[in-house]
Amino acid sequence: MSLSPNDSGARAQAPQASPWSGGQPVRLERVRKAYPAARPVFGGLDLEVQAGEVVALLGASGCGKSTLVRLVAGLERPDAGVVRVGHRAVSGPLDRVGLMFQEPRLLPWLDAWANVAFGLSDGVRGTADGDRRVRELLSAVGLPEAGSLLPHQLSGGMAQRVALARALARAPEVLLLDEPFGAVDALTRAGLQNLLLEVASRARTTVLLVTHDVEEALR
Ligand SMILES: Nc1ncnc2c1ncn2[C@@H]1O[C@H](COP(=O)(O)OP(=O)(O)O)[C@@H](O)[C@H]1O
Ligand SMILES: [Mg+2]
């Protein structure tokens, strides 16, 4: 379905995209990025990730992994070159790009349910559809009973699962993960990695995972 820009009435009534929508390709073309008074991080980076592909990027600390994630997320602008998600040139944060960091970054005053609901778009949060989606996501990450727990009542691994559910709430076309499982123990990490791969392949989401951990990249 294609909509012209002033079709807002039609847009409001358009059926909701599938909760597990497919992925979009990510392309970086000749991307240059330097922070003031520092050696350039990227001199002319080309990268192509196909729709639905799960790619791990491995690199030592300080090599530019978080910068890459921030460029794709629209949190940083390249000095030259272009970043594309699907056909769009990224010029700021996009609704359908999910982000997950090393720490869960949950809102401490909201329970797990509300933290996941926080990831829904405004029009969906609080509706029956939104509630169904939160329930589905908490189940998908193996926490169907944890909705009423506050972040301080969750273990590190549980909190990261809630963060993953929140990142998936808007049915992201692209999921960006910046060393997401670095702060949990090895056993929990393996479980979270499996969970991520399973959920991402079900949703056919494009996944870009950056890590400095060789084992994580190889999974
Ligand atoms: N906001 C910033 N201002 C100046 N330099 C930065 C900033 N963010 C990152 N850098 C520098 O850019 C390089 C890449 O950083 P980063 O992308 O965080 O690497 P990584 O995530 O791989 O550890 C490092 O040398 C870092 O010191
Ligand atoms: Mg980093």
User: pLDDT by residue (tens digit) across 150-193?
Assistant: 999 999 999 999 999 999 998 899 999 999 888 788 888 888 88
With cut-offs at 50, 70 and 90, classify the pLDDT of residue 12: very low
Which atom in ligand 1 lies closest to the alpha carbon of residue 59? 22
With cut-offs at 50, 70 and 90, classify the pLDDT of residue 197: confident
pLDDT on residue 5: 41
CA distances (Å), origin 9, targets 1, 3, 12, 13, 118: 14, 10, 5, 7, 25
Residue 212: both structure tokens together: 């400095």
Provide φ and ψ at 139, rounded to 5°.
-70, -40
Which atom in ligand 1 lies closest to the alpha carbon of residue 64? 17
**Thinking of the domain 19-218, which architecture would CATH place it in?**
3-Layer(aba) Sandwich (3.40)
Q: Tell me the domain boundaries of the chain.
A: 19-218
For 25-79, the pLDDT digits (tens) are: 999 999 999 999 888 999 999 999 999 999 999 999 999 999 999 999 999 999 9
Handedness of CA 125, 209, 179, 76 (dihedral sign): negative
Handedness of CA 86, 208, 197, 125 (dihedral sign): negative
User: How many separate helices (H) and strands (E) can be counted in the chain?
Assistant: 7, 8
Ligand 1 pocket test, pick from 28, 35, 216 with the greatest ligand atom count within 8 Å of Cβ, gives 35
Q: How far is the CA of 64 from the centre of ligand 2 (A)?
A: 7
pLDDT on residue 212: 83
Question: What does the DSSP 8-state code read for residue 23?
Answer: P
With cut-offs at 50, 70 and 90, classify the pLDDT of residue 21: low
Nearest CA owner, ligand 1 atom 3: 35
pLDDT on residue 184: 82
pLDDT on residue 37: 84
